[in-house]
Amino acid sequence: MERISITVLAVAMALFATPLFLDLALCVAGNLFRARKPRSANAREIRLAVVVPAHEEELMIARTVLSLKAAGAGERLYVVAHNCTDGTAKAAAAAGAQVLELSDRRRAKSAALRHGFTVALNAGANALLVVDADSVVSANLLAATRAKLEQGAEATQCRYELEGPAAGAWHPLARLRALAFRGMNVLRARGRAGLGFSTGLFGNGFAVTAATLERVPFDVRSIAEDVEYHTRLVAAGVQVYWVDDAFVFAHSPASGRAQATQEARWEGGRLHVASRAMRRLLGALFSGRWQAAETLIDVWSLPLSRGILALLLTIFLAVHWLHVFALACAGITALYVLQAALLGPEPLRDLGALAVAPLYIVWKALITPLVLRQSRRRAGWARTKREAHQP
C-alpha cells in the first residue's frame, strides 16, 4: 500500500511539472529557427494609434509619452487616465499626448484599453499599439510594428524587458528577476515564433488591427487581460506575430512588498485565466486549430521557480523513473537559462546572478498565499509602487 501511495504521488508530481518543462523544451528548440513572416497577398496601409492605459502614473507618464513621440507616435497618441486622483492627466497632456480621462467603477486595465481603442478607431486608426505607462520604447517600435502589420499580421508582440538601473550595478536578485522576465517574455515568444505558434501577448508592446478587434472583441475581464485575450485570439484562429528587433522596457517596481504584489498579480491572474480558458482552447484544438495545444500548455505551466522547487522535492521519493524525469527537466532548464542569458547584453553577469537563485525560490514560495488571493475573480488593477523617474 505504501509503495502504491508513493507511485501515485510520483505520477502526480510528474503531471504537475510536465506542462512547464514541455513548454520550455519547445521554446528552446524553437529559438534555433527564424520566426515566420505573415502571409499576405496584398500590402495594406496601416494607420497606427498608440494607446497608453494609466492609473496613478504621474511620476512616470511624461517619460513614456516623450519616448513614444521620439519613436514617431505623432498625433495618434492617447493616454487613458483611468480613475486617476493624481496629476497623471496633466503630466501626459504637457508631454504632448491626447488625454482621455475615464472615471468609473471598473478597476480593470481592460476597461481603460477598451475606451482608448474606441476613441482611436473612431478617429480613423485601423490598428492599435498598447504601451504601458511605466515604459520606454525603442526608436523603431512603431515602424517595426507597422511593417509587420502591413505584411499581413493581425496582431503583433515586440520584445518586452525590464529596464536596467539608471546608475550603478544591478542587485543580484534584481538581475535574476530580469533574467527570469526575459525568459518568459522574450525567449519563449521567440521560440514559439520559430515553431510557427502564436507568440503570446504580454500586456505591453502588443498591437492588434481593427479587423482583429471586430473578429475577436476585447471583451476580457480578468486582471491578466493579455493572457485572457491571447487565449481568445488563438481559439479564433488568430496568430500573434513576433517583432524581434523592437523593444519596450518597463521600469522595475520597488523591492519588497511592491515586487511581491506585482508578481502575485501576474501569477494569480494567469491561474485564474487558465481555469476559465481551458474549455475554449480544448474546443479549438478538437476543431483542428493545432496552435491551441501550445497555448493550453503555456497557460497551465508553473512559474519556473516553482517548477524547480517541484524537481527538488522529487529527491525525497525513491522512484527511479521520477529521478530520470527530474534530471531531464533539469537539463532542459539549464539550456533555457543559458539561452535567456545569451539574449541579454551581459550574459556572464546574468549567469552569475544564479548564485542567489535559492533565495529567490524561497521568496516565491513564501508569496504563494498572496498569489492565491490574486487569482480571485475580483482582483483589480492597482498601481505598483515605484521610485520616481524624471524624463
Its pTM stands at: 0.90
- Taken in order of first residue, the domains within the chain and their CATH numbers are 10-33+126-374 (3.90.550)
Q: Tens digits of per-residue pLDDT, 234-247? A: 999 999 999 999 99
Q: Tens digits of per-residue pLDDT, 159-177? A: 999 988 766 677 888 899 8
Tell me the percentage of the chain whose pLDDT exceeds 90. Answer: 63
User: Which tops the pLDDT comparison, 128 or 320?
Assistant: 128
Mean pLDDT over 143-151 rounds to: 95
CB atoms within 10 A of CB 103: 9
Q: Tens digits of per-residue pLDDT, 310-340? A: 888 888 888 899 999 999 999 999 999 999 9
Q: Tens digits of per-residue pLDDT, 60-79? A: 999 999 999 999 998 899 99
pLDDT number for residue 188: 97
**pLDDT confidence bin for 390, thresholds 50/70/90:** very low
- Looking at the chain, how many residues does it have? 391
Pairwise CA distance, residues 43 & 105, whole Å: 42
Q: Is the pLDDT of residue 269 over 90?
A: no
Q: Is the pLDDT of residue 294 over 90?
A: yes
The pair phi, psi for residue 258, each rounded to 5°, is: -65, -45
**pLDDT confidence bin for 366, thresholds 50/70/90:** confident
Q: Which three cell numbers stand for residue 152?
A: 499581413
User: Which tops the pLDDT comparison, 362 or 298?
Assistant: 298
User: Which tops the pLDDT comparison, 387 or 49?
Assistant: 49
